[in-house]
Chain A
């Protein structure tokens, strides 16, 4: 079996209709599109203990930037540190320019089911005041904090995977053609 047969085979490429060849890259390229899950947990942003509740707020990545931001909250009992799973958490963010965002964090949206999570869409950079209201039975805790949202990254950087993919495929294709046509096949 010699490699000359491979070259002979190459001439049949125009006759070949292999659905797999087309569907496979499409299937793999769809991965970034269907990736809708959001991370939770991450970096501890602030903690507040007010008996009988202990509240910890996490952000997935710091510094915060305009756009979708994953925010998650852990509510524990002060004694024994056992997580509370039936609290209600309301978050209000107010920008220095006056814009207000209100969301409720729920466990349904969290991957780590000990956490309450929501994805905030921060529209603006700058100073934000955050007020988080945690209610569990008759107990309530309010957490106040300041958020600094850094200026947004370039959109090209945000979507670098999708803009870089063609470049990678083009390089591989040229390399492939070079190997096929050049004197480098043994």
Chain B
């Protein structure tokens, strides 16, 4: 049986709010410390490393150990916790001189572009000087210490976990400030004579003595909570209070008086150079200057080396993209010529089974494969794979067999008419699909779903049976267009390994094909390819290239969108950017101008039809999710009742025309008008829309992901009984009898709203960043660039607000679960 001491000692909490930031700081410090230790081992030795981690460990012990669990029951324990946060952890952390190691440990780009401007800001430096002045440090520490010991404040912290965190944070942060002039961690330089630290410490000890004595000698319980909680020790509440006061008195005095003695000895034995008051404004002796200049010295130490050779830097940049085909196992698997065919066969068989079950199986959605797999599982999984991997659906497209069949039975000779070589047909088909999905309750009709799939197969056979190339994929397939647009955020992209090899290539097999392997059917020339748009990830170009110069590269998700927003691309980077002009900081004759809007390599994103497709999919994400929620469904019924319409279809058609066509058009055109007015730009409205459209992809994708992942997470378990039922119907009893109770209980997750909001936050922030980058291409001043941002950022905020509202509404599974779940 577990003993009392076991129970007490096991009362730890693994709180990620503490552990993740502590781990992050630990990793950053170690990374930076290692760099500095190699250069200056005497200044950044192991004692600094040990002290810093000792400080971090003290914080973790104070906040996660049983000390925190029992702080609400015993004032003595609570006092020990506070002393660890104020007296032990801060000096240890500061002893580790964390400023330079953490700055060096930060990602270089983030340190220079993200933190650098703040560190070099004159205003912030003045603020840092003020905040680090000993008078401010002392008074803040004392005020916070006394303030939180006032009964009302202490009780507030005991009753509210949020305020308790605020209390701990203020103790830790002000204590770090307090110990700063005492420890003087590198590169901190004293601005006051060292001897002033003596009264600094003595006065702090006076305050501590007064507060401790009050707790020790007061004859009533100061904090009523401790009188109300159960006594788990033999101490009464009053005795506990006196003990807490005694602990505070003794421990704090030791921590004040020991440094006092050491500094006194130091002053008596050394002649220390003191910074006089007159030299405070001297740039070198100024704390802020040193604070910043030391940081910069460290930050840019490697700069000349990195800039010495552009080729070396470019090679490093190229290496930062992961060549998936060069990986040992994954590369071999992806290079396997039959991989795609195998994946397609699998999805084709799955599609056939879904169609058969949809046609002949039970017509109750939650019991039919066609009712569950496409709408609950397939959509969620494709959205997740788009984010994690890439356009897996097009890679494993089940309709590819139909396309091949069409080519065999039909001539497949004609060229797709030039006037239809755009996204307009797809846009129309998407509009019809979104309307039909709601109007005919496609999700609630297995037979209609099966017919839709059959129709898709038929269209693929006819289109690709009559026309050459991948006409169906490029100009017709609505799913494909959805995948293409959303895959702009994907981490995987087909690219060339070395552009120089393509420059000397004369055969261009990647697009033309050869005897053994066809080239790109979608007419994408890989050296000039700038994004995943129109790329089915079929890897035909990879297999066709005789130089093995085409590969699959993994990079950070969203990299393509950043490049589109910046107007940069692969070939421009390697050709146009002269290393000399950058390294020596002088203007170069060969320096290329900034890319002109919509002109250049990113041809797709100068096209109006592509922009309309992007905006359609962005707005459709919000409309499609919005129609799932209860208030919108109530509006639909209200409209139907008031308009006395017998059918919901015209109501839905009207709603769709308004929400997907009219409102978006008005919003986007308003943005264009405002941007042109504010910026006095002579850019056509179509080009303006085309330029800013890609910036909205992340926001739209986040909403699709929220919507589809909700279905997947809530109804993911519904697949099992349906598969069991389908297996039983066909005479295979190996999976057992279906347990339909699984389908009637919708899984709920406490963290789902947090996840949804986090996804929306990411979507919004990424979209705003892309809008900023796009607006920056106009080369205006900061204020004007900011003004150019406002209309588009406003549109992003409107969509974000709608998204937040949708997330907070009850969403329905609509037919995808058994009736009891509604």
List residues of A whose CB falls within 8 A of some B CB: 1, 3-22, 24, 27-37, 39-44, 47, 54, 56, 60-62, 68, 74, 76, 81-83, 85-86, 107, 111-114, 155-156, 159, 162-163, 165-166, 169-170, 173-182, 184-186
Name the distance in Å between B603's Cβ and chain A's nearest Cβ: 20
The one of A5, A111, A174 that contacts B69, using a Cβ cutoff of 8 Å: A111
Name the distance in Å between A29's Cβ and chain B's nearest Cβ: 7
B73 within 8 A of A: yes
Name the distance in Å between B769's Cβ and chain A's nearest Cβ: 7
Contact B72 A85 (CB under 8 A): no
Contact B303 A9 (CB under 8 A): yes
The one of B24, B120, B573, B769 that contacts A173, using a Cβ cutoff of 8 Å: B769
Contact B761 A31 (CB under 8 A): no
Question: Per-residue 0/1 for B1-35: is the Cβ within 8 Å of any A Cβ (1 yes, 0 no)?
Answer: 11010111011111111001100100000000000
Contact A159 B754 (CB under 8 A): yes
The A-contacting residues of B in range 225-244, CB under 8 angstroms, are 225, 228-232
Contact A170/B232 with A20-B106, A184-B121 known, Cβ cut-off 8 Å: no
Contact B582 A8 (CB under 8 A): yes
With the chains together, A84 CA to B297 CA distance in Å? Answer: 61
- Specify which chain A residues have a CB less than 8 angstroms from the CB of B70 in the assembled complex: 112
With the chains together, A27 CA to B425 CA distance in Å? Answer: 42
Chain A CB within 10 A, most for which of B117, B120, B583, B804: B117
- Specify which chain B residues have a CB less than 8 angstroms from the CB of A165 in the assembled complex: 761
Question: Per-residue 0/1 for B81-117: is the Cβ within 8 Å of any A Cβ (1 yes, 0 no)?
Answer: 0000000000000000000000000111110111011
The A-contacting residues of B in range 218-258, CB under 8 angstroms, are 225, 228-232
Contact B114 A41 (CB under 8 A): no
Chain B CB within 10 A, most for which of A7, A113, A180: A113
- Report the nearest B residue to A165, measured CB to CB: B761
Contact A170 B768 (CB under 8 A): yes
Q: Sample 7 A-B pairs with CB under 8 A, ordered by A number.
A: A1-B300, A28-B24, A31-B17, A34-B16, A36-B750, A113-B8, A113-B69
The A-contacting residues of B in range 288-332, CB under 8 angstroms, are 296-297, 299-300, 303, 307, 313-314, 317, 320-321
Contact B159 A61 (CB under 8 A): yes
B284 within 8 A of A: no
- Specify which chain A residues have a CB less than 8 angstroms from the CB of B758 in the assembled complex: 29-30, 32-33, 162
Contact A186 B122 (CB under 8 A): yes
Contact A21 B109 (CB under 8 A): yes
Contact A68 B4 (CB under 8 A): no
The one of B297, B764, B786 that contacts A174, using a Cβ cutoff of 8 Å: B786
Name the distance in Å between A75's Cβ and chain B's nearest Cβ: 10
- Report the nearest A residue to B763, measured CB to CB: A166
The one of A8, A81, A178, A186 that contacts B585, using a Cβ cutoff of 8 Å: A8
- Specify which chain A residues have a CB less than 8 angstroms from the CB of B122 in the assembled complex: 184, 186
With the chains together, A5 CA to B299 CA distance in Å? Answer: 11
The A-contacting residues of B in range 752-786, CB under 8 angstroms, are 753-755, 757-758, 761-762, 764-765, 768-769, 772, 781-782, 785-786
With the chains together, A28 CA to B70 CA distance in Å? Answer: 28
- Report the nearest A residue to B12, measured CB to CB: A111
Contact A37 B577 (CB under 8 A): no
- Number of B positions contacting A (CB below 8 A): 88
- Specify which chain A residues have a CB less than 8 angstroms from the CB of B785 in the assembled complex: 181
| Those 9 A-B pairs whose CB atoms lie nearest each other, nearest first | A20-B107, A179-B117, A17-B320, A113-B7, A181-B782, A162-B757, A112-B69, A21-B107, A21-B110
- Specify which chain A residues have a CB less than 8 angstroms from the CB of B753 in the assembled complex: 155, 159
Name the distance in Å between A68's Cβ and chain B's nearest Cβ: 6
- Specify which chain B residues have a CB less than 8 angstroms from the CB of A20 in the assembled complex: 106-107, 109-110
Contact A18 B108 (CB under 8 A): yes
- Report the nearest B residue to A11, measured CB to CB: B582
The A-contacting residues of B in range 723-774, CB under 8 angstroms, are 750-751, 753-755, 757-758, 761-762, 764-765, 768-769, 772
- Report the nearest B residue to A56, measured CB to CB: B230
Contact A17 B7 (CB under 8 A): no
Contact A5 B757 (CB under 8 A): no
With the chains together, A113 CA to B12 CA distance in Å? Answer: 9
Contact B107 A24 (CB under 8 A): yes
Name the distance in Å between A67's Cβ and chain B's nearest Cβ: 9
The one of B108, B296, B583, B782 that contacts A182, using a Cβ cutoff of 8 Å: B782
With the chains together, A18 CA to B232 CA distance in Å? Answer: 53
Contact A14/B566 with A20-B110, A28-B24, A111-B69 known, Cβ cut-off 8 Å: yes
With the chains together, A177 CA to B785 CA distance in Å? Answer: 10
With the chains together, A138 CA to B6 CA distance in Å? Answer: 25
Contact A6 B10 (CB under 8 A): no
B415 within 8 A of A: no
- Report the nearest A residue to B322, measured CB to CB: A19
The A-contacting residues of B in range 100-153, CB under 8 angstroms, are 106-110, 112-114, 116-118, 120-123
New contact pairs (9) apart from A30-B758, A113-B6, A113-B69, CB-CB < 8 Å:
A14-B566, A29-B758, A31-B17, A31-B20, A35-B15, A43-B159, A174-B786, A177-B782, A179-B120
With the chains together, A186 CA to B122 CA distance in Å? Answer: 7
Chain A CB within 10 A, most for which of B113, B118, B772: B113
- Specify which chain B residues have a CB less than 8 angstroms from the CB of A163 in the assembled complex: 757, 761, 804
- Specify which chain B residues have a CB less than 8 angstroms from the CB of A176 in the assembled complex: 113-114, 117-118
Chain B CB within 10 A, most for which of A4, A17, A169: A17
With the chains together, A35 CA to B750 CA distance in Å? Answer: 11
- Specify which chain B residues have a CB less than 8 angstroms from the CB of A42 in the assembled complex: 72, 159, 161
